[in-house]
Amino acid sequence: MLRSIISALFGRAQVVRLVGLALLVAMAALRIWDPVPLEVVRLKAFDLLQHVAPNENPARPVMIVDIDEASLTEHGQWPWPRTLVARMIDQIAAGKAAAVGIDIIFAEEDRTSPKNFAGFAQGLDTETVAMLRALPSNDEVLADAFRRARMVVVGQSGYHEDLGRETRELQGPPLAQLGGDPRPYMLKYPDLLGNIAVLDNAAAGKGILTVNPDVDGITRRVPLLVQARGTVFATLAIEILRGVAGFRPLIVKTNEAGIAAVSVAGIEVPTDQSGRLWVRFSRSDPARYVSAKDVIAGDPQALQRLQGRVVLIGTSALGLFDIKATPLDPVMPGVEVHAQLIENIITQEHIVRPNYAIAAELLAAILVGAFIIIAVPLMPAVWTLLSGTLINTGILAGSYYLFVDRTMLLDPTFPLLTSIVVFGSLVFFNYIQEESRRREIRSAFSQYLSPDVVEQIARDPSKLILGGETKEMTILFSDVRGFTSISEAYKAYPEELTQLINRLLTPLSQVVVDNGGTIDKYMGDNIMAFWNAPLDDPRHAHNALAAALAMIAAQKALNAELETETAPDGSPAKPFAIGVGLNTGINVVGNMGSDLRFDYTVLGDNVNLASRLEGQTKSYGVTILFGERTAELAGDEFAIVEVDLVAVKGKQEPERVFTVVGNSDIAQSNSFRAVHDHCQEMLTAYRAQEWDAADAAIRAAREMADAYDLSRFLDVYAARVATFREAPPPKNWDGVFVATSK
């Protein structure tokens, strides 16, 4: 009702546009809300861009000294004594590394220091204990190694809760602010997990190691600046680069959307609004790694690879749990993430996702949606689809070009999703309107045509033209015998007669429909139906015979009800008796009539034969009569008995006709087989003019004929045999019975 009112006020095209506009507004609101599923789709699109065009810059300014499985096998499980780590730092310094970054946090004192050993060792004398206590701690040895190296930056991590312990005053790098205070936009941590004081004091700098994955667990962005306990700290990569440039202040640019860029070592690094950099990853490269055991051993080739490079110390050992998932590698050591971040900044191969990206993506989605809203009601569907496809292809191509040429990330998925939702919804709305028109067609024609025909016309209104097709079909006619005598009791009560005939025609029609038939028409108390049109039915003969048997069963059920009823004139209600004729053959089926009025019906000689066979049922004393082709197609699935070779009125060619008395269960019973064989013997003897043999077969068949309603059929042949005994047929008689009535 509401849709009809809106359609009347605005027109169908305007209704479609209003629906599209509402959807477009909803999609814009969805993008502003940005739920997790939408974010994940966007991130996966960004991953695809990285897969298509990964970072292939061959520059390797960063090397990783890897505490790998081989190193753990050589020097024992982690944590190693700090003296061993100090030896590794000294060797790296000997290799003339430009700077050292440590992707490890030494949060507690080394328990293997001499003074600690003196405390728990057993059996030591006093002099030995005193000597051990006088030795420098392993931590002091490592701190001295830090001081000997050119520059060492240690790691620290943002912690998700307040550690609740006394800590010294925290100090981060100096900041120069352009455009406003960046602190409100930074990622924040309640506390900081750092190194013990002796190591922190010896290090040239301290950088944050924390890398937060996105909602799907994949690391794509690394924060360049974070807050912990109210103090701003730089990530490990930024602090190393700041140290290489002489530890100058960082420059942070902020705009109304958030943090826009961080400048370090004279390089401006664009960030997202939270100060995170999108890393343009390359695949994990073994060439970046040098085994820690080779460095500790002073291997010349290993040390040569470190010369002039920024060196990061970290681990690839799975048991030490520093493994990240990246867009290109499901398993990447966390230290390599920091290495690739440094390389991105130095080579300026990092990814840019400007703060105006969301507005640009939203604008693209609105423009595409607006085009669809305007075009769908006006343009043919094919042109609309082609235009939308070209626009969406342009969006994909533009996103790819910007990434490859400008290393810029713009999301193509939201404009695409918007176009699909708007276009799909408008198509669906048009479909709903089309369905409404189809329902109107069904309502208008259901009074005149069968449901299957109405459905076919609703799907394809072009079928509402004159014409037909030729195909094999099975035709059924049913008629009430003695209807005139029944109606006499109702001559003063026509409404009651109508109700009575409807009580019969309703179940008879239902069994036709239930067995896949199409009701062609009602002619008084007569039903005409057919199978294999308009829908193909390869078992049309079988289904028609099943319907015929069901019609006889429905008639008997109604007669059982009528036994307790009376007619309006007070006389007992008379039972119904119907005859059913069927025939299978080639016919023409389709819309027949004139340009003013036509019906979906079937025409052909085989239709006339079916009607004639229905009329002959009373002549043979059977309720169902059908032609040879029907019997051939039905096969052995029914209890079929041959009736005669008859030339019906109006036809010269004889037709072998049959009746059916039951389904396949009855056909397989011994009693029916016996009756069937006796009837066949009777027909054979009858056609051979062997009257005695025919009489003998009739008598044998009568013993079980009543069970199959064949007694009147046998009476017909008994009378014929008696007649031919008195007046034999001519010598050229072929056994064909010529019917003189319809």
DSSP output for 516-556: T-EEEEEETTEEEEEESSSS--TTHHHHHHHHHHHHHHHHH
Q: Which of 137-146, 180-189, 595-604, 640-649 has the weakest average pLDDT?
A: 595-604
Q: What is the distance between the alpha carbons of residues 735 and 25, in angstroms, rounded to a whole number?
A: 84
Q: Which of 125-129, 201-205, 380-384 has the weakest average pLDDT?
A: 125-129
Q: What is the distance between the alpha carbons of residues 549 and 700, in angstroms, rounded to a whole number?
A: 26
Residue 212 CB partners (closer than 8 Å, separation 6+): 187, 219, 221, 223
Higher pLDDT, 407 or 583: 583
The rounded Cα 200 to chain-centroid distance in angstroms is 56
> What are phi and psi for residue 538, nearest 5 degrees?
-65, -15
For the segment 140-165, the average pLDDT, to the nearest whole number, is: 90
Quick: pLDDT tens for 50-61. 988 888 877 789
Ordered alpha helix ranges (H), 651-726: 664-667, 670-687, 691-705, 711-726
pLDDT of the residue at 711: 93
pLDDT of the residue at 8: 38
Q: Give the start-to-end residue ranges of the domains of the chain.
A: 2-53+354-440, 62-347, 451-664, 669-734
pLDDT of the residue at 142: 95
pLDDT of the residue at 120: 65
- Name the pLDDT band for 542 (thresholds 50, 70, 90): very high
pLDDT of the residue at 11: 47
pLDDT at 324 over 70: yes
pLDDT of the residue at 13: 58
**Tokens describing residue 480:** 């009430």
Helix, strand counts (H, E) of the chain: 26, 27
- Name the pLDDT band for 498 (thresholds 50, 70, 90): confident
pLDDT at 225 over 90: yes
pLDDT of the residue at 483: 83
Q: Burial letters for 222-258: b for 16+ Cβ neighbours within 10 Å, e otherwise?
A: bbbbbbbbeebbbbbbbbbbbbbeeeeebebbbeeeb
Amino acid at site 479: D
What is the share, in percent, of the chain residues with pLDDT greater than 70?
89
For the segment 711-715, the average pLDDT, to the nearest whole number, is: 94
**Tokens describing residue 646:** 């008859």
Residue 318 DSSP symbol:
G
Question: Which has the closest alpha carbon to 100: 156, 172, 60, 154?
Answer: 154
Residue 720 CB partners (closer than 8 Å, separation 6+): 686
Higher pLDDT, 149 or 590: 149
Looking at the DSSP bridge assignments, the partners of residue 582 are 476, 626
For the segment 589-612, the average pLDDT, to the nearest whole number, is: 82
Highest mean pLDDT among 1-10, 118-127, 542-551, 598-607: 542-551
Question: Which has the closest alpha carbon to 42: 259, 220, 282, 256?
Answer: 220
The rounded Cα 253 to chain-centroid distance in angstroms is 46
- Average pLDDT in the chain: 87
Task: Write the Ramachandran bin of 703: left for phi over 0, alpha for psi from -120 to 50, otherwise beta.
Answer: alpha
Amino acid at site 563: E
pLDDT of the residue at 480: 93
pLDDT of the residue at 22: 83
What is the share, in percent, of the chain residues with pLDDT greater than 90?
54
Residue 526 CB partners (closer than 8 Å, separation 6+): 477, 478, 479, 480
- Name the pLDDT band for 3 (thresholds 50, 70, 90): very low
Quick: pLDDT tens for 460-483. 665 555 567 899 999 999 999 888
- Name the pLDDT band for 492 (thresholds 50, 70, 90): confident
Quick: pLDDT tens for 627-653. 999 999 987 889 999 999 998 876 778
**Tokens describing residue 31:** 């993008």
Q: Which of 27-31, 424-428, 581-585 has the weakest average pLDDT?
A: 424-428
For the segment 611-640, the average pLDDT, to the nearest whole number, is: 93
Q: Which of 451-460, 549-558, 639-648 has the weakest average pLDDT?
A: 451-460
CB 668 within 8 A of CB 639: no
For the segment 406-426, the average pLDDT, to the nearest whole number, is: 86
- Name the pLDDT band for 425 (thresholds 50, 70, 90): confident
pLDDT at 123 over 70: no
- Class for the domain spanning 451-664: alpha beta
Quick: pLDDT tens for 236-256. 999 999 999 999 999 999 998
Q: What is the distance between the alpha carbons of residues 602 and 470, in angstroms, rounded to a whole number?
A: 10
Quick: pLDDT tens for 677-690. 999 999 999 999 99
